[in-house]
Chains A and B, each alone.
Chain A
């Protein structure tokens, strides 16, 4: 049962353009959403997050949008840079501290110079 879905396994974008990575979730009890970035042979590293009480959070080139009614969030990277090439994981958690962080399968982003 996939509670967090990233339906695009890969995405290629030209350098300088916008990258949009999408994520859907099924559990309405999720109240916090995070994006992690992973390079080969490394662990995932935290990128940006958003609380369910917000619909947008921005940090430099990275913006996360949340549409609660659609149970959908997206990560926008603009402008995209070659160093952004990595696997991006969407993750979500509920209110309780005993609720584990649930991850999607990831989307591999390739930024082409």
Chain B
């Protein structure tokens, strides 16, 4: 049973479209994250939610809108997709805020390709 699951795993779409990536964790964690791994391979934080409350928003264009209906889910909606949005998006979760030894558990990633 997958701890952090993301859907879809692959997504190919045209510029200008709107798309969503869903994430669910069954670990009972309070905190969830979205990370983006771009073509340069950096893994960069985008958003963090703790108990459905946004706590980190790292200079991400407002075309990206996270939504957390409950603490087990954190979905990412992207409006007006651009070529530069092509990347692998990783969802992660942790027990409480990520301090000290608090480890993040990652999903397998969702590869988004914008044509």
Residues on A lying within 8 angstroms of B by beta carbon are 31-32, 34, 36, 41-46, 49, 51, 89, 93, 95-103, 105-106
Question: Given A93-B99, A106-B41, are A100 and B108 also a contact pair (CB < 8 Å)?
Answer: no
Cross-chain contact B43 with A103 (CB below 8 angstroms): yes
Q: Which 7 A-B pairs have the closest CB atoms?
A: A97-B97, A43-B106, A100-B45, A103-B43, A46-B103, A97-B99, A105-B41
Asked if B44 is at the interface of the complex by the 8 Å CB criterion, the answer is: yes
* 30 A-B pairs (CB sep. < 8 Å): A31-B100, A32-B100, A41-B108, A43-B90, A44-B90, A45-B106, A46-B103, A46-B104, A49-B101, A49-B103, A51-B100, A93-B98, A95-B99, A97-B50, A97-B55, A97-B96, A97-B98, A98-B55, A98-B56, A99-B98, A99-B99, A100-B33, A100-B45, A100-B58, A101-B104, A102-B45, A105-B40, A105-B41, A105-B42, A106-B43
Note all chain A residues with C-beta closer than 8 A to B48.
Answer: 98, 100
Complex Cα spacing A105 to B68, Å: 28
Complex Cα spacing A44 to B42, Å: 12
A-side interface mostly: loop
Cross-chain contact A101 with B4 (CB below 8 angstroms): no
Cross-chain contact B101 with A43 (CB below 8 angstroms): no
Question: Given A42-B108, A100-B58, A106-B41, are A34 and B103 also a contact pair (CB < 8 Å)?
Answer: yes
Cross-chain contact B108 with A43 (CB below 8 angstroms): yes
Note all chain B residues with C-beta closer than 8 A to A36.
Answer: 106
